[in-house]
């Protein structure tokens, strides 16, 4: 490949990948030019290499990995979208995947293996030495999305009677320790956590000092089966940099660090946003068939709710036939109610997710949303009534649409807050189901109020 035509770098000023850079990568792959490919990507961070891989056509991604060979960092696998990562792993020999897993921290190894099918997972684990395999298998045995799955099992623990000098020598001379750490855990002979010593405090102390004199009280710990979203909430609430993970016998088995929590926060926020739209855990790398299947169910449910709204309209077909203006104005009422309800529902779902909305303050929040709906309803009722008078010159019609606007905006506020709370109380995920029910309520109430009042007052 002509080096003069190579792009200056992968990123544009706005943070997007340079199209020319991707074309250069594709050209190197098509020409089977491994040297040119290395020139392009060797200085990139693993996360940047993952971005490049994700935008490449699916049929050349494995070629990219093969051509880089030993220069392909296995840490890149942890940065990839799940669908892309699974595709690449499936095309790699299991022995190669096993070697890659051995180079990773235990939490990253679990992250890569947890979504593979049982046969492939077992085959890869069988190729890993027993000691390392046991650590990974133990983490895989914990529930999905739990602290046990999230934690890394590499940490530094010493007995309380060791001196600072012994601890430092241990850290210098022991190979099987985490590459990055900020604290040392103090444990008893049965590995029950007694406390911690921060690394900066340890390094500033004299060598003869016993570590338990430097020990800080046991910091906030999490249980292995605690949901990762709750773990993230504790990090945010108590400004934690890390947290020890304890098993059912209160023994130290791992540690969750802030970089893991950042990924959890991003993952949970992404999940909530997508579920509000009824697309689940869909990603840009998914196939057409997979995306179609995931979207179909909620579209089908939405079709059912739309039919219900149409039935309500059908009840008033004679009314609409006598006054065409009703058909013109009818969508305004439903649309305003739907948008108002979506605003309330979005805030409610997110507040439930972060535990900011609970039984303690539910009544106050419901009251607030009711008042907001009423105030907005009155304001927009005045606006739409004015427009109706100017447009159609009918004061009775203006009154009907104004009254129905108030009713639907009030219903929208109540539905937007009550439906997510009710779903949460019965154990359903409000992020998934709320939008369908809320839309149904606002459509039905809006159409029924508008057409019902019109039948009473105008005809």
- Residues pairing with 192 in the sheet: 251
Please enumerate in sequence order all residues whose Cβ is within 8 A of that of 359, keeping only pairs 6 or more positions apart, or say none: none
Task: Identify the residue with better confidence: 16 or 241.
Answer: 241
For residue 188, pLDDT over 90 is answered with yes
For residue 298, pLDDT over 50 is answered with yes
Kindly state the average pLDDT of the residues 86-92.
82
Quote the pLDDT of residue 132.
83
The pLDDT confidence band at residue 197, using thresholds 50, 70 and 90, is: very high
Whole-angstrom distance, CA of residue 248 vs CA of residue 12:
50
- 192 three-class SS: strand
- 186 three-class SS: strand
Pairing, β 252-257 against β 242-246: antiparallel
For residue 258, pLDDT over 90 is answered with no
pTM: 0.67
Pairing, β 157-158 against β 183-187: parallel
- Which residue ranges make up each domain of the chain? 3-144, 157-258, 288-457
For residue 1, pLDDT over 50 is answered with no
For residue 4, pLDDT over 50 is answered with no
For residue 355, pLDDT over 60 is answered with yes
Instruction: Determine the CATH number of domain 3-144.
Output: 1.25.60.10
Fold match between domain 3-144 and domain 157-258: no
Quote the pLDDT of residue 9.
64
Quote the pLDDT of residue 280.
62
The pLDDT confidence band at residue 291, using thresholds 50, 70 and 90, is: confident
Q: Which long-range contacts (CB under 8 A, 24 or more apart) does 234-237 make?
A: 235/261, 236/265
157-258 CATH choice from 3.40.50.9100, 3.10.580.10, 3.40.50.12780, 3.40.50.2300? 3.10.580.10
Kindly state the average pLDDT of the residues 319-332.
83
Quote the pLDDT of residue 277.
65
Quote the pLDDT of residue 327.
86
The CATH architecture to which 288-457 belongs is: Orthogonal Bundle (1.10)
- Are 97 and 62 contacting, i.e. CB atoms less than 8 angstroms apart? no
For residue 222, pLDDT over 70 is answered with yes
Picking from 158, 166, 151, the residue whose alpha carbon sits closest to that of residue 184 is 158
Kindly state the average pLDDT of the residues 31-35.
90
CA distances from 394 to 385, 386, 387, 389, 442 (A): 9, 10, 10, 5, 25
For residue 234, pLDDT over 80 is answered with yes
- 73 three-class SS: coil
CA distances from 34 to 41, 49, 53, 327, 374 (A): 11, 15, 15, 65, 66
Quote the pLDDT of residue 15.
67
The pLDDT confidence band at residue 193, using thresholds 50, 70 and 90, is: very high
Quote the pLDDT of residue 192.
93
Whole-angstrom distance, CA of residue 68 vs CA of residue 63:
9
Q: Which residues of 4-15 are buried (b: 16+ CB within 10 A; e: fewer)?
A: eebbeebeeeee
Q: Which of 287-301, 317-331, 364-378, 438-452 has the lowest mean pLDDT?
A: 287-301
Nearest 5°: CA angle at 237, between 233 and 241?
A: 85
For residue 6, pLDDT over 50 is answered with no
Pairing, β 193-198 against β 183-187: antiparallel
Kindly state the average pLDDT of the residues 93-98.
84
For residue 73, pLDDT over 60 is answered with yes
Kindly state the average pLDDT of the residues 416-440.
84
For residue 458, pLDDT over 90 is answered with no
Average pLDDT along the chain: 85
Quote the pLDDT of residue 385.
93
For residue 5, pLDDT over 70 is answered with no
Burial class (CB in 10 A: 0-12, 13-18, 19+), 173: exposed
For residue 119, pLDDT over 80 is answered with yes
Quote the pLDDT of residue 218.
63
Q: Which of 156-165, 184-193, 412-421, 429-438 has the lowest mean pLDDT?
A: 429-438
Whole-angstrom distance, CA of residue 232 vs CA of residue 265:
7
Kindly state the average pLDDT of the residues 319-341.
85
Quote the pLDDT of residue 251.
94
Whole-angstrom distance, CA of residue 432 vs CA of residue 424:
11
Kindly state the average pLDDT of the residues 303-330.
82
Give 13's DSSP letter: T
Quote the pLDDT of residue 2.
45
Q: Which of 128-142, 240-254, 301-315 has the lowest mean pLDDT?
A: 301-315
Locate 301 and state its tokens: 């449910």
The pLDDT confidence band at residue 427, using thresholds 50, 70 and 90, is: confident
């Amino acid at each position: 490949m002509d080096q003069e035509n190579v792009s200056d770098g992968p990123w544009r000023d706005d943070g997007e990948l340079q199209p020319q850079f991707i074309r250069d990568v594709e050209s190197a792959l098509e020409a089977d030019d491994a040297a040119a490919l290395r020139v392009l990507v060797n200085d990139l961070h693993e996360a940047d290499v993952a971005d490049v891989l994700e935008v490449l056509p699916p049929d050349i991604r494995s070629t990219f990995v093969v051509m880089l060979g030993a220069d392909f960092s296995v840490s890149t696998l942890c940065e990839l979208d799940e669908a892309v990562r699974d595709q690449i792993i499936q095309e790699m020999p299991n022995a190669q995947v096993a070697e890659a897993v051995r180079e990773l921290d235990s939490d990253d190894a679990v992250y890569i293996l947890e979504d593979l099918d049982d046969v492939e997972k077992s085959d890869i684990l069988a190729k890993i030495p027993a000691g390392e395999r046991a650590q990974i298998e133990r983490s895989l045995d914990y529930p999905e999305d739990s602290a046990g799955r999230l934690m890394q099992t590499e940490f530094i623990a010493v007995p309380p009677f060791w001196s600072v000098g012994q601890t430092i020598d241990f850290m210098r001379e022991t190979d099987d320790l985490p590459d990055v750490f900020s604290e040392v855990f103090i444990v008893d002979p049965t590995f029950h956590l007694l406390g911690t010593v921060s690394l900066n405090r340890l390094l500033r102390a004299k060598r003869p000092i016993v570590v338990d004199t430097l020990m800080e009280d046991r910091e906030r710990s999490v249980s292995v089966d605690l949901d990762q979203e709750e773990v993230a909430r504790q990090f945010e609430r108590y400004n934690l940099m890390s947290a020890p993970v304890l098993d059912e016998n209160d023994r130290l088995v791992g540690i969750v660090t802030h970089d893991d929590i950042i990924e959890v926060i991003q993952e949970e926020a992404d999940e909530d946003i997508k579920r509000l739209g009824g697309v689940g855990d869909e990603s840009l790398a998914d196939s057409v068939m997979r995306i179609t299947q995931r979207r179909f169910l909620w579209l089908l449910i939405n079709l059912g709710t739309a039919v219900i709204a149409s039935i309500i309209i059908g009840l008033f077909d004679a009314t609409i036939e006598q006054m065409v203006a009703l058909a013109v104005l009818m969508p305004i009422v439903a649309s305003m109610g739907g948008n108002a309800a979506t605003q309330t529902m979005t805030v409610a779902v997110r507040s439930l997710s972060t535990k900011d909305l609970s039984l303690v303050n539910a009544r106050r929040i419901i009251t607030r949303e009711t008042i907001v709906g009423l105030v907005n309803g009155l304001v927009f009722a005045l606006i739409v009534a004015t427009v109706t008078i100017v447009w159609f010159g009918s004061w009775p019609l203006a009154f009907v649409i104004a009254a129905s606007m108030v009713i639907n905006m009030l219903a929208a506020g109540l539905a937007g807050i009550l439906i997510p709370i009710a779903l949460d109380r019965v154990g359903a995920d409000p992020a998934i189901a709320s939008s369908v029910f809320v839309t149904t309520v606002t459509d039905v109430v809006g159409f029924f109020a508008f057409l019902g009042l019109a039948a009473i007052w105008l005809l």
